[in-house]
Structure formats: C-alpha cells, structure tokens
Structure 1
Amino acid sequence: MERTKYRFLDRSDQEKGLPQPPLELPKNPGKPVIDLPKPTDLVIPPIDLRMAIERRRSVRSYERMPLSLVELSFLLWCTQGVKKVHGTQVTFRTVPSAGSRHAFETYLLVNDVHGLVPGLYRFLALSHSLQRISDDPSLHIDITHACFDQDFIMRCGVAFLWTAIPYRMTWRYGERGFRDLHLDAGHVCQNLYLAAEAIGCGVCAVAAFDDDIMASILGIDGVNHFLIYLATIGKSEKEK
C-alpha cells in the first residue's frame, strides 16, 4: 500500500505514449463458441432494489436444479455486460471500473446449466457469448481442492472465476492500478449477489484459493494474468 501512494509513482505507459492492451483476450482457436440469449431479449422477473439488498447473504447450500441459459446470460450481463464500445479503446459496462479499464476476464466452472456441457468456459463479453475451454470431468474436483476443499463449489450450478489482466489497469495508472483491481472485483461480485435475488439464486464469494494451482487449472501464467476472486451460485434451497 505504501509503495502505491502517488508520490512513488512513475509516469504511466499511457503517459509515455505506449499502445494500450486489447479490451479482451482473443478467442482460443479451435474451441467451440456458444451464443448466449441477447441481453435485450432477456425476460427476468422484476425485484425491488431494497428487497434485493435486504435478502442478500452468502449461500452455500443449493437445490439440485439447473440454471437456465437465459439466467446465466442475465448474470453475465449484470457482472460484465458491455453496454457500449467506444472504438477500440473503451467499453462501458454494467459495473464501474477505474477509467473504464475493465481488466477482468470471466471464466465459468459450469456444473449444472441447462444446455451446457459441464466444464470450463470463458465469457466473451464483446460478443456476449461463451467459449468452451475444457470439458475435463474432474475439473470441479480440482478447483474445489485448489479452494482448500470448500465442497459447496462442487454442488453449485456455476462458479464465476474472475481473472485480472493488470496491465489493462496499470497502463493508465501505474502501480496504483493494483488497488483499483481489487476495488473493481468488489463491484462485480456485489452485482452478482444482487442479480441472483431476481432469479431465486444464492451466491457465496470465495477469496481463499491457491493462486498457483488455480492459474495452472485456468491455463494462465499467474503473473500477467491471475485469478482475483470467485463466487458460486445456485438455486436457493426453499425455506422449510
């Protein structure tokens, strides 16, 4: 924290005139892409904002009921949905981000979503679609172990895994940008908590995981691209 105070910062790469990093990672060649229901076509039951806030809590027990593709599309839209693209430089999304840098990629551990093969997916926010990365049947077990055996991860419908590409942020803000990454992660996860209330789901945020093992599972280097936060979601158990 001390070394990211403004008095210690050098000129950022943006100030030096260096080109900015891409808005999104490219698609993986040869991996299937699945179109999601368009945000404009989503029909989601309305919910009062105060009610959503009052109901919000962490939920670790889920009904054995799949999420629909419409519900997943809604959750992805609420957490990283692109409302507007300004050229190749800026995206305006459904969550705030310092300088509209939006340094996150969203990976999904799909356990039980109607119409999707269980496995690992990446959300392509610019086209509002999914790309399947892996259908390894032991993936949910590996990720649970990497999260210190928090076994509700295996029982959720889907887990959102947010990774950070720090240079998207530090290109503009230098080392100070690492603070912004963690603030942005909070914005994204809170949107997931509140959006879940509209579709009868519960969420549990998870910050305890082995960084290196998770990087290996996701196929990222853990330095220039690392897991920053994750959250499980599933249908809430009915009160008895």
Structure 2
Amino acid sequence: MYKDIFKSLREAALVRNNMNTRRTTDEPAPLPQKPYPEDIKLIALPEPDFLEDKEVSFLELMELRSTIRLYSDQKLTLRELSYLLWCTQGVKMVLPSGVTKRTVPSAGARNAFETYLYIDKVEGLTSGLYRFLAIEHALLPIDTSAGVKERLRKGFNKINMFDECAVTFIWAAVLDRMDYFFGGRALQYLFIDAGHVCQNLYLASYTIDVGCCAIGHFNDEELNRELGLDGEEEFVVYAAHVGKIR
C-alpha cells in the first residue's frame, strides 16, 4: 500500500517536472496568508525587535536539544510565546510581489503553513484556539469557548501531553500556495518545510528552557474538522506541544 502511494507521488512529480505550472501563466499567486474578518480585534504580540536576545553555544544547542514530554503548570509569558512564533514563522520581509521571507526555509518562499494554536497556559490570554497572523505578528482568536479543549483533545493520541502542555502548535498547509509554484512536487515540499518549522521550534524552545515534543501521529479528520479545514485543499500536517519543564 505505502509503496503504491509513494510511487504515485513520484510519478506525479516526474510528470509535472516536464509541464508548466500555474506560475508561468497570468493567474495571480495565492495570498501568503489566509484573510480574516476586519471587525475582529487582534491580540498584538511583543514586537520581535524588542524580544530578549538569547546567547547560546551552537554546539551546546545541537548536543542538548531533546524531546520533552512532561510539563509543569507554570505559564509561558506572552513574550516567550511571541519569541517561539517569531522563530518558527516570523516574517522578515514582504516583497512587492507579496512573497514573504521568513525565519525558516521554504521551497520557493511559498510558506504554505498557517499556524494554529491551542493556548492553555499563557499569561494574559484566555484559553482557546487561535491563529497566528505572521505578517501582523498578532493572534487571531478563533474559539475561546469552554468546550474547545475537549473537542481538540479528540485529535490527539497522547492526551496527557495535550492536557499538560502550555501551548499546542498545529501547522496546517494551504496546498494551493505550493501547488501554484511546484505542481506535482507540492506535497513533497510541504512535508520537507514542516520539518524546517518544527526544528526551529525545538531549537528556540531550548534557548528559553521550554520543553517541546513534535507530534506526527494525530487524528487528521478530527483536527481538520475542528479547525474548519476541508482536509484536501487545507489540512493539518504537523503539530507540537510546548510547555515549561518540570
């Protein structure tokens, strides 16, 4: 089964290598960020320029970076959350074409991910589901109702980590952004890009004494449904729990 799936993906990539993708046409490129209602009040995050600079030995970072699965009840500060978001999807530059240059590598600078967050323990924030707006460096509240945690926890298999962590990062791909540029190779590049993003989260977490655990095994249908994604054009690719270390 898996060999057949892999073969299909490779065949699609090879075929599209010899074809023009939509970027060679007059069709406009997809937006670099999903729109949001103008009347919703955003939550501004501390500006990256004012975040505390973290000095760390690169060799120490490589050697001591690890997966942490146990978290304390201590809350993250808003500044710490801002730092982690900046390190994983921060926008360094918006080009005239609308393309964004960010703090992580992305094939063709497509940056096809939207970062959703279940925030449970962050100072000054109501627990609930949010979306990170990378261009504005702000949070968009989506659902802060009492039942949102219970609904989202159905999407995860290791419930103890979801329950204990301070924040769960959920990266959802907007396929059209990558397909526009790369056609049949879009899926390959999406999963490669996801690795870049989560590795930055691991490294940034270590510098502020925060634990991180990447989550690749989750219940796709449950998470896609709770995030309002169709599972085909937009779908969850990767997730991670973070929290203060016990």
Report whether the alignment pairs 1:223 with 2:227: no
2:129 maps to 1:120? yes
* Identity of matched residues, %: 39
| Distance apart, 1:143 and its partner CA | 2.1
Query: Could you give the per-residue CA deviations for residues 40-64 of structure 1, whole angstroms, max 9, x where no partner exists?
Result: 0001432222212211111110111
Deviations 1:27-84 (A, max 9, x none): 2354331000000000143222221221111111011100000000000000000001
Query: Which structure 2 segments of 5+ residues have no match?
Result: 1-8
The equivalent residue for 2:6 is none
- CA–CA distance in 2 between the matches of 1:180 and 1:45? 30
Distance 1:43 1:6 in 2: 46
Residue among 119, 133, 140 paired with 2:142: 133
Which residue number corresponds to residue 63 of structure 2? 54
TM alignment of 1:206-217, pairs within 5 A: 206-217=215-226
Identify the residue that residue 117 of structure 2 maps to in structure 1. Answer: 108
1:78 partner SS: helix
Task: Quote the Cα distance in structure 2 between the aligned partners of 1:18 and 1:32.
Answer: 32
C-alpha offsets along residues 117-172 of structure 1, whole Å, 9 cap, x if unaligned? 00001011001011110002232232222112432111100011101001101101
Taking structure 2 as the reference length, the TM-score comes to: 0.92
Correspondent of 2:78 among 69, 86, 97: 69
Residue ranges of structure 1 left out of the alignment (5+ in a row): none
Distance 1:187 1:90, change over 3 A: same
Q: Distance in 2 between matches of 1:44 and 1:33?
A: 26
Structure with more of its chain in helix, by fraction: 2
Question: SS where residue 214 of structure 1 aligns?
Answer: helix
8 Å CA contact 1:44, 1:198 repeated in 2: no
Contact 2:16-2:185 within 8 A present in 1 as well: no
Distance 1:42 1:173, change over 3 A: same
CA RMSD of aligned residues (A): 1.4
Q: Deviations over 1:165-191 (max 9, x none)?
A: 011011011021110000000000000
SS of the equivalent of 1:27 reads coil
2:106 is aligned, of 88, 92, 97, to 97
The equivalent of 1:3 in structure 2 is 11
4+ long deviations beyond 6 Å: none
Which residue in the other structure is 1:190 paired with? 199
Greater shift after overlay, 228-237 or 140-149?
A: 140-149
Partner Cα separation in structure 2 for residue 197 and residue 176 of structure 1: 33
* Per-residue Cα deviation, 1:194-217 (whole angstroms, up to 9, x for no partner): 000111111000011121111111
Distance in 1 between the 2:205 and 2:37 partners? 29
The separation in 2 between residues aligned to 1:100 and 1:171, in whole angstroms, is: 12
Matches within 5 A, 1:137-152: 137-152=146-161
AA at the equivalent of 2:30 = P
In 2 relative to 1, CA 8–88 (structure 1 residues): closer, same or farther, beyond 3 Å? Answer: closer
SS in 2 for 1:146: coil
Specify the alignment match of 1:180 in structure 2: 189
Contact preservation (8 Å) 2:112, 2:175 = yes
How many angstroms does 1:15 deviate by? 1.6
Distance 1:88 1:138 in 2: 41
**Contact 2:56/2:207 (8 A) holds in 1:** yes
